[in-house]
Chains A and B, each alone.
Chain A
Amino acid sequence: MRDWLAQRVTAAIMAVYTLIVAAIVLMNTPLKYAGWQALFAQGWMRVATLLFMLSLAWHAWVGVRDILMDYIKHDGLRLTLQVFTLLLIGSYLGWTIQILWR
């Protein structure tokens, strides 16, 4: 139940972020490199992007785990793939933080 609810809440967060970014981009077209840099220099944008990526990570984890639970019947193989997925999502998050606060 917790995961099912989390997937819906994270989906809502991602939808809101996507609308905000789409609005900013539409209002500032054409957005050049300097524009992008100024946008992501602001603290709130970095935090919002991090929240988006955290939501995406959690959402993707629930989804991929569901797929593995459905299709991978061998317990050992499933655990291995789940650990691999977690490591991959963890690395993406680390990379995101590195990019945002570079």
Chain B
Amino acid sequence: MKLSIYRYDPDKDEKPYLKDYEVALDSHDRMLLDALVKVKAQDDSIAFRRSCREGVCGSDAININGKNRLACITKLAELPEHVTLRPLPGLPVIRDLIVDMTQFFKQYHSIKPYVINNDPPPERERLQSIADREELDGLYECILCACCSTSCPSFWWNPDKFVGPAGLLQAYRFLADTRDQATSERLDNLEDPYRLFRCHTIMNCVDVCPKNLNPTKAINKIKEMIVKRAV
């Protein structure tokens, strides 16, 4: 298989370029990450992130033939013979396929991603009913790989002002949590022209999410909460 990989080392290269690699696959190679590891054996100057290699940590999110995906759960059998790999779009490139996620995590932290509850903690834990717990399905599974936010044009244009789909999915995860008491502060935090309402329902986030989550749906639920509070 042929891989064209985005190469850029800011210390050496004037500008980024694509470098071609030929990889001989064998029957043990199932996922794109396996091919990338073989490329690394050929040319150890290439840099990419990977950790759990099973779609749980979200480290190896890259742009594969134009679509943001996790290399470790992208099946080689589903890919064409020639594959082009680039870093996630919209974030500064540190080197090769590695991007600087600072802006992404800044937005994530801005929504206070933890349960806020000022009642004294009970003896063991804050229990939820089964129905209340089910509200969190499709929200808590996010692994923060940034595939969604970096495929979102609104995030590309305003990464400093728009929270982005990943951050907003998590914002709704805590708004929907019956143990959380900060609903009104959370909605205040999102109610400005940029933080939430830059989402124009483009739905690239839903298209790329490797965990099949639906940030657009969560964002619409936050918008509904803000409207209900106002009318």
B residues less than 8 Å from A70 (CB atoms): 153-154, 157-158, 198
Bound form: Cα–Cα A75–B15 in Å: 30
Given known contacts A69-B193, A70-B157, A5 and B198 CB-to-CB distance under 8 angstroms = no
A1 and B197 within 8 A (CB): yes
Q: Does A71 contact B (CB under 8 A)?
A: yes
Given known contacts A1-B227, A1-B230, A66 and B200 CB-to-CB distance under 8 angstroms = yes
Number of A residues whose C-beta is below 8 Å from B? Answer: 8
B191 and A1 within 8 A (CB): yes
Bound form: Cα–Cα A70–B227 in Å: 23
Contact pick for A4, options B154, B157, B158, B197, CB 8 Å: B197
Q: Does B179 contact A (CB under 8 A)?
A: no
Query: Per DSSP, are chain A's interface residues mostly helix, strand or loop, or mixed?
Result: helix
Given known contacts A70-B154, A70-B158, A5 and B227 CB-to-CB distance under 8 angstroms = yes
A residues less than 8 Å from B191 (CB atoms): 1
Q: Give the bracket for the number of chain B residues in contact with chain A.
A: 10 to 19
From residue B104, how far is it (CB to closest CB) to chain A in Å? 19
B149-189 CB contact bits vs A (8 Å, 1 = yes)?
00001100110000000000000000000000000000000
Given known contacts A1-B226, A5-B227, A71 and B157 CB-to-CB distance under 8 angstroms = yes
Q: Does B223 contact A (CB under 8 A)?
A: yes
Top 10 A-B residue pairs of the complex, sorted by shortest distance between their CB atoms: A70-B157, A1-B226, A4-B197, A5-B227, A1-B191, A1-B230, A4-B223, A1-B227, A71-B157, A70-B154
Subset of 21 A-B contacts with CB under 8 Å? A1-B191, A1-B197, A1-B223, A1-B226, A1-B227, A1-B230, A3-B193, A3-B197, A4-B197, A4-B223, A5-B227, A66-B200, A69-B193, A69-B194, A69-B198, A70-B153, A70-B154, A70-B157, A70-B158, A70-B198, A71-B157
